[in-house]
Structure 1
Amino acid sequence: MSSKTNSKVWYYTLTAILLLFSFQTYASDTLHVVTHKRLTVVTDPSQGVNFYKAWGVFPSPKEGIRSIKLKLRMGCPDTMRCADWDYKDHITIRRTGGVKGESQDIEIGRMLTPYGGAFSKDWAFDWEVDVTDFSLLLRDSVEIEYNHTGWEPNNDRGWTITLDFEIVKGKPAWEPISIHKIYDGAYRYGDPANPIENALKPTAFTADKNAAFARLRVVQTGHGMDKPDNCAEFCSKYREIYFDQKLIDKRDIWKKCGDNPLYPQAGTWVYDRADWCPGDLMQPDLFDLPVRAGARHTVDINMEDYTSSAPSAEAYITAYVIQYKKPAAKQDAAISDIVRPTLKDAHRRQNPANVQPQVVVRNMGAAPLTRLDIRYGTKGFGQRSYTWAGNLAPAASTTISLPGVIDQAPGRNMFEVELLKPNGKKDKYPADNKMTSTFEGVPKHGATMVVYLMTNNQPDQNFYTLKNGAGEIVQERVVGTLKANTLYRDTLQLRQGNYEFLFQDSGGNGLEFWANPRGGRGKLRLLDGNGAMLQDFESDFGSSVRYAFEVGTPATPTTDALSFGLYPTRTNDTTTFDYYANHPHDVLVQIVTEPGGEVVLEQQYAELKEGVFTYDLSHHPKGRFYLVVFVGGEEKFKKRIRLKE
């Protein structure tokens, strides 16, 4: 490879990446190939696509690869703000074998960008997806392309992206033989003159003489908003997958978005969509298929019948068949993730946590996994043991909830998990049986706590539970017991121990959502016995919020907590800002134009502790503005206002 190409290759040490992701396996040999390092990406409005290519040097074909995870970090650029729209980005293997190597055009990741209009300058978020199925291609010099789609302006907004391939070397659980693309395209859906089944025809492949099974890997998202069903983005239609003319899977291509770990966002982030949500790195559907050496097999993807009078919907589908040799071991279990406790962004809604750890286990062996011993605990505390029983098929994964309290000290802690004796036998590959995660200890509060709840116009959607460490409900408000626009102050006297508070919204749009003006705005806080705020919950939370804590001594000191609210954010005239703090501060409120940042309103409040303020924007022309709040000279809150739109 040329020196120019070499300059595009990024290597980073394991230690640096572990600090970035606060997550670690005990695999014997892990390396990171970073092809795009905090690269600023913007749209090309003239084309709708903008390509960012870079080279990486991966292990040689002779080296064994146990696993590959593609980790994507997205953030706001240094010189512009985060971009606005939920566009569909593609991460692709473009070329293998160096600059003169073979063109591939293999999509290995699909990112749906978030609505970033209200993110702060220091915002960043991490996602990951397992791409081990492409290990045959991720060898030697590989050109990786990030294709950022969209049409929004590119002079004042964008994203930074980092693509990091975390590669664990070692004997593969299943040795790949070949990769065969069977579907790849934007398939028109709902056109009576050209039904989608004209394109989604059965595809055949011949099983290799050494193949024990073939894995079908499918990524599908729906886009477009035709009539009458707003397909394909906002309509739920089922998909069928056939293997050798036999139905092996049927499900709705649909995803609930109210529990997205990335929240709140500026746009319609809570709206359920055709198998994706804004701010979402797609996870593939995987199907392991039995094959006969040398035999001809067929795969067929069918969509529910649908026609539109004005068709514009498209189903974006990529599907690959990867053939594998027989598993290397009969008994082989691996831990692939720690859901709680962890600092991982993808598991924010489950953390911080103080009870019931959760881990993801994958069966890497040839035999069904029916029994597994698990040792776990926090470093510096005692270890616990648990025996899981079930029936996990080869290559399948499951999330296991482990009993007991998560021991922890204030601040950062390290949780450790080890898998032992799959099916009562020795694990043939113990290198991926251990994992640790860094996590934050939960706060400790006094015995008196107040649940402060101001309901909105739709209280029939809300309910909450408070459970102790044994999972017993010690306080609740059930569905149907709350009144609209009413302040509730539930005072609780709690015994020493661990607790988890869970507040839910069955409508999936929280206590406030800008596109649901009929719902109004509610507010949820937890207070101590003196009325000081312990926890303030974002009203625009989607489906649920949870809060884990401990009751005991010494209690965590009450912080100088701040609470902000702005509603409505879509208005023809006025908007109302509310503010609360445990201690008084000098507060500056500005309303500025977007774009440009011209200040059209400014108010200063000296030694402000609590207040509700209404601002009239009716004399301004149609447009978008930001309300920005500075507390003690530091920007603490920023939210967009849509005026007369």
Structure 2
Amino acid sequence: MKIILLSLAFTFCSVSLLWSKTGDTIRVVSHDQTVVVTDPAKGVKAYRRWAVFPSTKVPVRRINLLVTFGCPDSLRCADWDYLDHIYIRRKGGVNSPSLDYPIGRMLTPYGGAFGQDWSFDWKSDITDFSLLLRDSVEIEYEHTGYEPNNDRGWKITVTFEIVEGTPVLEPVSILKLYDGSFLYGDSTQSIEEKLKPVSFVTGKNTQHTRILIFQTGHGMDANGCGEFCSRYRELWFDGKMIDKRNIWKKCGDNPLYPQAGTWLIDRAYWCPGYLQQPDVFDLAVTNGAEHTIDINMEPYVTGNPSANERISAYLIQYKKPAAQHDVTIEDIMVPTGSKTHLRKNPSCANPVIVIRNMGSKPLTQCVIEYGTDGFSRRKHVWKGNLLFNRQAVIGLPGEVQGNTGENTFSVSLAEPNGKKDDNRSDNTMHTLFTKAPVHGSALVFHLRTNKQPQQNGYVVRNSNGKIMYERALGTLEAETDYRDTLRLAPGCYELVLKDTADNGLEFWFNNRGGRGFARLLDVKGQLLKHFDSDFGSGIYYSFEVSADSTQFALPDELPAVGVFPTRTNGKTTMDYFGNSPQKVTVHLVTDPGNEVIEEHIYEELKEAVFTYDLSYRPAQRYYLKVYVGGKLVFNKRVRVEGGRK
């Protein structure tokens, strides 16, 4: 695939554009490492940029929205989980009328403990807006919130990845159905008075319609609504309910972890650090017919309502699907270096991919070829029943082969329903991945339980799923050290530690749970892998056992450091474990201000536990920073709640 970089300068903006020939990928960057901060006086601040998209003459197969967050060079990462939007504001030029179409919904992470080199990437399919993303378009990144803006913010990049080719569906029109923040639970005015049915007539070329819904809950009434309460939403089409679901999302398996705030607590269809994926509903229709769409929320009334349902919904009319037999590869979840799949990577066995049926005929089978470049390829025949635009997550058999370091894994699809694929342009995908670590045959898993051991259990399985070692749920004692020696034959294994409460071995909001830790050691006691105790729902670690010592992963260069509690009336405890004695410096600094209020220097520190008493300090936030050899290796926020007034 060819990608050519051009820079286009305008009197009203500067934008970079990656242009290509037919069948290739165009990358339009509207916001290039733009620093965004809040406007505390208004609670919202807009960052508008003009960008040039392909003309209407260029056929578009797919458009992906890519959002990258990092810490600004001169500021630290921001703190709070705010609702941000990406809008199409105008199309055509500076004098064109406003469109105000929200096309992306970003929930910012709790970034208080991220280092300056931190970054994260998210992606969403926004092909349904291809009618609007043509020629000159004004893109706005809207950042909300009230936190200070002089010392914290985000550095964002917004990229539109446009794949040329025959459209899966050729769009006819796009209609905004609902867009706003709707008060939920008000006895004087039901939310249904705002979410009234919308009628439309299909165009003369329309044979397919798609409903697109972005929805998240916000606010906090006496029942925790709308951010922290589950409720259902119904979608009705022509008087028939076509969907009913809870507006709720589990957050304990968030790929962006740990975060400084309540990142793992479940929320109303979102989690902190999340680019929302819209709900999509496909409906076959006939041209010239009248239809009605209606969204209904679960009936709810409360005193002093403050819950809000933030809903943006669209109706897109399309011509009939272009192909009958068309399968696409959507994602490679394992193996990959993608940050959104980091919880399951690296892995040494059982690749996982996502396919989608883009053909009008149900997909009942396809052939999958896969393997690491430089190694033999495997073939697998998948069978199922996928309707148009539906996805399937497929686990593939076999080990993930690779050389030490970075490798390329490739997947190719063929013969949907035993037929020739009508569009082979998106039948192949490649990912870069790092080979899973290699260890010797004898390992030690050191688990220190917290005060709630009934929530935890762990298992070691081989690549065939056979359990080699296990400590089941309900068998662990509180605040106890378990040092299990694992003796394993050469092969591929996975270690899985579960937490049924989704709050890990520590969570700052759960002081009563205390702190535990998990470490993988060699038989000499050297640290091979330290697992962050603030892991949410679980830990997954895949590794290979080999008899060849030249392949073994080296002991971890970074020490295992933990601080608990991080919400305290004064005292907090730091535990430190390293593989060799080193000079360690601990700084306690104020937030805001970054003033060092305590410095502790340990000349030859290898393993120890220290208690720091901050009861003499004013009630506010602080950071505990640990430096080894002058390099920052640990940064944790500590909140003093009952200190000196």
Give the TM-score taking structure 1 as reference length.
0.97
Partner of 2:628: 631
Residue identity matched to 1:96: K
Q: Deviation string for 1:339-381 (max 9, x for gaps)?
A: 1111111111111111111111111111000011000000000
Q: Deviation string for 1:126-151 (max 9, x for gaps)?
A: 00000000000000001100000001
Query: How far off is 1:218 after superposition?
Result: 0.3
Partner of 1:22: none
In the alignment, the residues of structure 2 paired with residue 556 and residue 230 of structure 1 have an alpha-carbon distance, to the nearest angstrom, of 47
Q: Deviation string for 1:257-305 (max 9, x for gaps)?
A: 0000000000111110000000000000000012221111111110101
Query: How far off is 1:337 after superposition?
Result: 0.9
In the alignment, the residues of structure 2 paired with residue 448 and residue 226 of structure 1 have an alpha-carbon distance, to the nearest angstrom, of 54
Structural mapping, 1:7-26, within 5 Å: 7-12=13-18
Partner of 1:21: none
Q: Deviation string for 1:141-200 (max 9, x for gaps)?
A: 011000000011101100010001011001101101100110100000000001101111
Partner of 2:148: 153
In the alignment, the residues of structure 1 paired with residue 241 and residue 277 of structure 2 have an alpha-carbon distance, to the nearest angstrom, of 22
In the alignment, the residues of structure 1 paired with residue 534 and residue 22 of structure 2 have an alpha-carbon distance, to the nearest angstrom, of 40
Partner of 1:525: 519
Residue identity matched to 1:355: A
Q: 1:223 aligns with which of 211, 218, 224?
A: 218
Matched, 1:43 2:38: yes
Residue identity matched to 1:193: T
Q: Name the SS of the counterpart of 2:14 in structure 1.
A: coil
CA RMSD of aligned residues (A): 1.3
In the alignment, the residues of structure 1 paired with residue 9 and residue 632 of structure 2 have an alpha-carbon distance, to the nearest angstrom, of 44
Partner of 1:265: 259
The answer to whether the Cα contact below 8 Å between 2:9 and 2:15 also exists between their aligned partners in 1 is no
Q: Name the SS of the counterpart of 1:133 in structure 2.
A: helix
Residue identity matched to 2:557: D
Matched, 1:189 2:184: yes
Partner of 2:467: 473
Q: 1:96 aligns with which of 91, 103, 109?
A: 91
Q: 2:590 aligns with which of 584, 593, 599?
A: 593
Residue identity matched to 1:63: V
Q: Name the SS of the counterpart of 1:430 in structure 2.
A: coil
Query: How far off is 1:477 after superposition?
Result: 1.1
The answer to whether the Cα contact below 8 Å between 2:559 and 2:579 also exists between their aligned partners in 1 is yes
The answer to whether the Cα contact below 8 Å between 1:534 and 1:561 also exists between their aligned partners in 2 is no
In the alignment, the residues of structure 2 paired with residue 270 and residue 142 of structure 1 have an alpha-carbon distance, to the nearest angstrom, of 37
33-42 vs 342-351, which moves further: 342-351
The answer to whether the Cα contact below 8 Å between 1:27 and 1:432 also exists between their aligned partners in 2 is no
| Aligned residue pairs, count | 632
Structure 2 unaligned blocks of 5 or more: 1-7
The answer to whether the Cα contact below 8 Å between 2:19 and 2:25 also exists between their aligned partners in 1 is no
Q: 2:543 aligns with which of 540, 549, 556?
A: 549
Partner of 2:571: 574
Partner of 1:497: 491
Q: Deviation string for 1:223-255 (max 9, x for gaps)?
A: 00011x110000000111111110111111000
Partner of 2:4: none
Partner of 2:5: none
Partner of 1:336: 330
Structural mapping, 1:5-84, within 5 Å: 5=11, 7-12=13-18, 28-84=23-79
Q: 2:507 aligns with which of 507, 513, 526?
A: 513
In the alignment, the residues of structure 1 paired with residue 558 and residue 48 of structure 2 have an alpha-carbon distance, to the nearest angstrom, of 44
Residue identity matched to 2:465: G
Query: How far off is 1:210 after superposition?
Result: 1.3
Q: 1:106 aligns with which of 101, 121, 129?
A: 101
In the alignment, the residues of structure 1 paired with residue 270 and residue 300 of structure 2 have an alpha-carbon distance, to the nearest angstrom, of 20
Structural mapping, 1:98-247, within 5 Å: 98-227=93-222, 229-247=223-241
In the alignment, the residues of structure 2 paired with residue 481 and residue 378 of structure 1 have an alpha-carbon distance, to the nearest angstrom, of 40
Residue identity matched to 1:301: I
In the alignment, the residues of structure 2 paired with residue 27 and residue 581 of structure 1 have an alpha-carbon distance, to the nearest angstrom, of 55
Distance 1:330 1:252, change over 3 A: same
In the alignment, the residues of structure 2 paired with residue 71 and residue 32 of structure 1 have an alpha-carbon distance, to the nearest angstrom, of 10
Matched, 1:442 2:441: no
Q: Name the SS of the counterpart of 1:349 in structure 2.
A: helix
Distance 1:321 1:353, change over 3 A: same
Q: 1:275 aligns with which of 265, 269, 274?
A: 269
Matched, 1:350 2:347: no
Residue identity matched to 2:583: D
In the alignment, the residues of structure 2 paired with residue 166 and residue 127 of structure 1 have an alpha-carbon distance, to the nearest angstrom, of 12
Partner of 1:18: none
Query: How far off is 1:27 after superposition?
Result: 9.1
Query: How far off is 1:10 after superposition?
Result: 1.5
In the alignment, the residues of structure 1 paired with residue 178 and residue 258 of structure 2 have an alpha-carbon distance, to the nearest angstrom, of 35
Structure 1 unaligned blocks of 5 or more: 15-25
In the alignment, the residues of structure 2 paired with residue 89 and residue 10 of structure 1 have an alpha-carbon distance, to the nearest angstrom, of 23
The answer to whether the Cα contact below 8 Å between 1:27 and 1:431 also exists between their aligned partners in 2 is no
In the alignment, the residues of structure 2 paired with residue 589 and residue 177 of structure 1 have an alpha-carbon distance, to the nearest angstrom, of 62
Give the TM-score taking structure 2 as reference length.
0.97
The answer to whether the Cα contact below 8 Å between 1:560 and 1:583 also exists between their aligned partners in 2 is no
Q: Name the SS of the counterpart of 2:224 in structure 1.
A: coil
